[in-house]
Amino acid sequence: MTRTLTPLLAALLLAAAPLSHAAPVAQAAAEAAGPAASAEEKVVYHVNDSDNATAALRNIQNHLNAAPDAKIVVVTHSKGIDFLLSGAADKNGNPYEPTVQALKDKGVGFRVCANTLKGRKIDPSTVIPEASIVPSGVAEIGRLQAREGYVYLKP
């Protein structure tokens, strides 16, 4: 009788073994997906050339159309700050400020690099009121990614 039960018991244990591992694996997968699925969407857009500003602003609007609750910050430095200066307009003469204001009203933050202002000898008072000045644009991008969990997009 022992000879009959031993193979049967072994077969039963082998059949049940995948089930005992499946539950923890499935639970771990659900836990891994759970926080990501419910986490706040936070994105930093990097603009270092105002020639890309129109496309960046359009991308941000499209982003908000698809994900209205997304938290978006635009960080600018180098030539990327130019569209956030008073009187700035695109190549067709359309001012940037109304679009920036509309996005600001939807919660988008705009940040300008103080190092760029200093290096290019631009008076900080020329930065439009919708934008704030940060000590360093690249350091701000790094901080947002490392400390606040933002993902990086460069239009």
Residues 39-53: tens digit of each pLDDT: 899 999 999 999 999
Q: Which amino acid does the sequence have at 100?
A: V
Residue partners of 64: CB distance under 8 A and separation at least 6: 70, 72, 103, 106, 108
For 146, phi then psi, to 5°, come to -75, -40
CB of 153 within 8 A of CB of 46? yes
Better-scored residue on pLDDT, 2 or 94: 94
What confidence score (pLDDT) does residue 42 get?
Answer: 98
What confidence score (pLDDT) does residue 39 get?
Answer: 83
Residues 43-92: tens digit of each pLDDT: 999 999 999 999 999 999 999 999 999 999 999 999 999 999 999 999 99
Global confidence as pTM: 0.76
